[in-house]
Amino acid sequence: MKHYNDDELAQYAFDPDDSPLSDAIERHVRDCPACDAQLHFIRTIDEGLKDRESWDLSNSLGGAPDVTSLLELAARVESEDADGATLLAPFLESPLRFVWADVSRKERFRTPGVVRVLCQAALAACEKNPLHALDLADAAVSIAEELPADHYPARAIHGLRGLAWKDRANALRYLGRYGDALASLDESERAYRLLRTSALELAVVDFVRATVLVSGDRFEDALVCVRRCEPVFLEHREEVRYRHSRLLEATILFMLRDLRSARPILIDVLSGARIHSDPTLTARAAHNLGLVELDLGELPAAKEHLTLALQIYEEGGVSTEATRTRWSLARLAAAGGDLEDALLLFRSVRDEFGRQGITIDQALVALDMADLLLATGDAAAASAIAAELFVTFRAAGMVTSTITALGFLHEAASRGRLTPKLVQHVRVFLERAQRQPALLFAPPVE
């Protein structure tokens, strides 16, 4: 039996479509344990060179590097990352200590390993402490820009710079600084375009850009970006990224109220997530699909998918998302005319958000309750909720725009002028204010 050498297997592993031996190797490895094992080994090496998000040194080199070169690169990257983790260990967990350390100005920290560790730490910190995430990403950008362009073969250092700028954009998105985030993504794109091959990296930038644009309510622009990255993910067999980009596309369509276009996408994403045993994506797709079906008036289907999402979140211990799903089930009960159960569910969810310290969602649930009470003719109970919200949030020292909106609602209630239209106006404002903290409240136009 003829066996294939490492270079032939490597070319097939990295780009099957570009390998003249693709079909022959595919047939051969089915019956040859030796070549199949070596092919698996080569792919394992390649995966070991990939950053958790987008930085892939072997891809940056272009073509199909031989196995020896890949092994050397893998060992080099592993060594750099280990040294970077050791250097940064005393500073990463303490935002104040990290700022005082000023690592970007010190020679010993100017290594690719430090950049990669900083990028990973920045991503991890985005949700819990976005200001710290921005400090980490700023340091990563500063160091990456100072590294010599020939540090890696084929000027692959540009891939590291692109990664650092992209992770900086993520931190800025969490801080609501969308213009600065888009500018960082422009820098990331500029760096990636200096690589020999950069289609996948640029697609990742487009995906992140779409999330930033969604946060800024620029839904049409976001749709262009996410649809531009999807075929690239498919071409590069990035199936997980493809499914997440499709989920984002459906989310954008939902925000644009194009429910009938969003639904088949979510059905497809849900199916793929279940086939690939991805519980997190399954729950997200099921929840979003349930919301679309709720708004389309397809209540039995909505209940099926919302119940599936809730089951997954509860089994996984994801308490916040489980609470949000119960909130959607409360809305479903209200839509089905079961007003008593809906109010009980709303109260339970409101109390859960209160215990979790998620104050804006707590307020949104209360507004849903007020809206439902107005629909049932209980204006006094709805007005009491509006008054309670204003007093509670003012005592908690909430931001001015939120207090202004709730104060407007409280005043309308105190004058007997509370209506579903005013409740919905304030509710929409609070939802937008979560994405855009600097948004100012304005009463509805009469």
Q: What is the pLDDT of residues 218-246, one digit of tens each?
A: 999 999 999 999 999 998 888 889 999 99
For 70-113, the pLDDT digits (tens) are 667 677 777 888 888 888 888 888 888 888 888 888 888 888 88
Q: What 3-state class would DSSP assign to 56?
A: strand
pLDDT at 51 over 50: no
Contact 118, 142 (CB under 8 A): no
pLDDT at 56 over 60: no
CATH architecture of 257-357: Alpha Horseshoe (1.25)
In this prediction, residue 356 carries a pLDDT of 80
Residue (of 95, 184, 161) closest to 133 by Cα position: 95
For 265-285, the pLDDT digits (tens) are 999 999 999 999 999 999 999
Contact 201, 195 (CB under 8 A): yes
Cα–Cα dist 78/158, whole Å: 19
**Which residues are CB-contacts of 224 (< 8 A; sequence separation ≥ 6)?**
none
Q: Where in the chain are the domains?
A: 6-46, 49-197, 257-357, 358-446
DSSP symbols for 325-382:
HHHHHHHHHHHTT-HHHHHHHHHHHHHHHHHHT-HHHHHHHHHHHHHHHHHTT-HHHH
Q: Which residues of 253-289 are buried (b: 16+ CB within 10 A; e: fewer)?
A: bbeeeebeebbebbeebbebbeeeebeebbbbbbbbb
Residue (of 277, 347, 292, 358) closest to 321 by Cα position: 358
Find which of 106-110, 329-333, 392-396, 421-425 is predicted with most confidence, using mean pLDDT: 329-333
Structure tokens at 232: 């690239």
Structure tokens at 65: 């590097």
Cα–Cα dist 25/289, whole Å: 41
The phi and psi torsions of 51 (rounded to 5 degrees) equal: -70, 160
The phi and psi torsions of 345 (rounded to 5 degrees) equal: -65, -45
Cα–Cα dist 33/39, whole Å: 10
Q: What 3-state class would DSSP assign to 52?
A: coil
pLDDT bracket for residue 398 (50, 70, 90): low
Cα–Cα dist 383/378, whole Å: 9
What dihedral do alpha carbons 152, 154, 160, 163 form, nearest 10°? -160
- For the ranges 26-35, 87-96, 106-115, 245-254, the lowest mean pLDDT is seen at 26-35
Contact 302, 286 (CB under 8 A): no
pLDDT bracket for residue 54 (50, 70, 90): very low
For 143-170, the pLDDT digits (tens) are 999 988 777 765 778 888 999 999 999 9
Cα–Cα dist 216/432, whole Å: 9
- The DSSP output letter for 436 is -
